[in-house]
Amino acid sequence: MTVAVLDTPPVSHPLKQVVLWIGANSGGVSKTTLAIHIAYVMACRGAKVAVLDLDTNVSMSQFTGLDKSPVAGETLAYVLSEHFDGDWPFASPDWGEIKGRIDICRGGPVMAEAGIELANRKRREYLLSDRLSDFPLPHDLVILDCPATLSNLSDVALVASTHLLIPLEPTPKSLSGCDVLLKWYQVSCRALRLNPQPEILGVVPVRYDANSATQREYRAKLPEVLNGFGIHCYPSVRFSQEYINASARGLPLQLHRRHHKACGDFLPICETLSELLEN
Ligand SMILES: Nc1ncnc2c1ncn2[C@@H]1O[C@H](COP(=O)(O)OP(=O)(O)OP(=O)(O)O)[C@@H](O)[C@H]1O
Ligand SMILES: [Mg+2]
């Protein structure tokens, strides 16, 4: 009997890999925008970054200038399917100097079906984690852009992650949403027996408008409230119309308006990520 020999070269593991879950249980709170800008800054610092889009909308493709209608085989739905053969379907945004350092595995409407199909799969919550261990990625940083609801795809992402980052718009409604998210995190980690459980890197206030008295009031309270839970509060990512203009061009803000003050808003988060990758 002949035995087939696998002749594909082994994938080289990075020394450290951070898998960053970016999620919230509300829509339009900059999850995708954060994912893209953190990916861009980290790639500029020399990291190799993969972004896996678990969402059903096409924002990730649109904001990065990629084709918004990939066939299912070019999406994360394929990676999660029973037919996946280990060849991750990545697309790379055409962003000048860093081209090739950011790989994006797109989501989109097919993820709705993928989410429903999970119900019939064994080890459903562990599917992405299993994929990452069976077919490891050579990237230093893997960013998971999660859907706006705490669905079964959020569980899949949580199990695969090493760290969590939670964007929060400083408003009363978002604060109560954050409370629900933290309870979901605790219950899920316990129920899924995550050991070690992914660490909460912090909460980042987003779309912060210093001209709004309500936002100013809630922004000021946030660090103390979060510190009560042992959670770090990052400096804010400010509101700027230029994000909307940049995303319409398929560019990060840094390539749309290089000298815009908001470009520096991601640096504290990226500092933490760089430290995690170096230590
Ligand atoms: N700091 C900001 N200032 C102004 N506009 C922003 C900012 N961040 C994001 N936006 C805009 O807000 C909208 C929602 O952002 P984004 O798609 O990143 O949020 P999301 O949480 O991923 O949304 P969804 O839940 O739909 O996936 C987009 O039009 C984006 O360009
Ligand atoms: Mg999004």
Is 27 near ligand 1, meaning CB less than 6 Å away?
yes
d(CA 243, CA 33): 8
- For residue 185, how far is the Cα from the chain centroid? 16
In a domain, 101, yes or no: yes
In a domain, 129, yes or no: yes
CA 183 vs CA 142, 150, 179: distances in Å = 24, 11, 6
Q: Is the pLDDT of residue 255 over 80?
A: yes
Q: Is the pLDDT of residue 4 over 50?
A: no
Domain count, the chain: 1
For 24, phi and psi rounded to 5 degrees? -160, 160
Nearest-ligand number for the alpha carbon of 34:
1
Q: What's the predicted TM-score (pTM) here?
A: 0.95
d(CA 75, CA 91): 9
pLDDT class of 13 with cuts at 50, 70, 90:
low
pLDDT class of 133 with cuts at 50, 70, 90:
very high
For 168, phi and psi rounded to 5 degrees? -145, 125
In a domain, 7, yes or no: no
Mean pLDDT over 231-241 rounds to 97
CATH code for the domain in which residue 170 is found? 3.40.50.300
Angle among Cα 161, 159, 169 to the nearest 5 degrees reads 60
Give, as residue ranges, everything with CB less than 5 Å from ion ligand 2: 31-32, 59
Mean pLDDT over 128-155 rounds to 96
Is 33 near ligand 1, meaning CB less than 6 Å away?
yes
In a domain, 224, yes or no: yes
Percent of the chain with pLDDT over 90: 87
Nearest-ligand number for the alpha carbon of 265:
1
Q: Report how far ligand 2's centroid is from the alpha carbon of 4 (Å).
A: 43
* Helix residue ranges, H only, the chain: 31-44, 59-63, 76-80, 110-117, 127-134, 152-160, 172-191, 213-228, 241-248, 253-256, 267-278
d(CA 207, CA 197): 29
Between 158 and 100, residue with greater pLDDT: 158
Is 76 near ligand 1, meaning CB less than 6 Å away?
no
Q: Report how far ligand 2's centroid is from the alpha carbon of 202 (Å).
A: 19
**Structure confidence at residue 279 (pLDDT):** 83
User: What SS3 state is found at 26?
Assistant: coil
* Helix residue ranges, H only, 11-126: 31-44, 59-63, 76-80, 110-117
Q: Is the pLDDT of residue 10 over 60?
A: no
Angle among Cα 145, 147, 152 to the nearest 5 degrees reads 110
Among 30, 143, 150, residue to substitute to test ligand 1 (most atoms within 8 Å of Cβ):
30
Q: Is the pLDDT of residue 221 over 70?
A: yes
Mean pLDDT over 149-168 rounds to 96
Q: Report how far ligand 2's centroid is from the alpha carbon of 244 (Å).
A: 13
* Least confident segment among 79-93, 103-117, 121-135, 174-188: 174-188
Between 8 and 186, residue with greater pLDDT: 186
> Is residue 27 within 8 Å of 165, Cβ to Cβ?
no
DSSP 9: P
Q: Report how far ligand 2's centroid is from the alpha carbon of 28 (Å).
A: 7
d(CA 203, CA 223): 9
The atom of ligand 1 lying closest to the CA of 238 is 1
**Residue 145 is part of which domain span?**
18-278
Paired tokens of 82: 């029973």
Is 215 near ligand 1, meaning CB less than 6 Å away?
no
Burial of 1 (0-12, 13-18, 19+ CB in 10 A): exposed
Instruction: Match 């893209």 to its residue by tokens.
Output: 36
In a domain, 9, yes or no: no
Q: How confident is the model over 24-79, as pLDDT tens digits?
A: 999 999 999 999 999 999 999 999 999 999 999 999 999 999 999 999 999 999 99
Residue type, 158: L
Nearest-ligand number for the alpha carbon of 246:
1
Q: Is the pLDDT of residue 5 over 70?
A: no
In a domain, 115, yes or no: yes
Q: Is the pLDDT of residue 7 over 60?
A: no
In a domain, 227, yes or no: yes
In a domain, 2, yes or no: no
Looking at every residue in the chain, the average pLDDT score rounds to 94
**Structure confidence at residue 11 (pLDDT):** 57
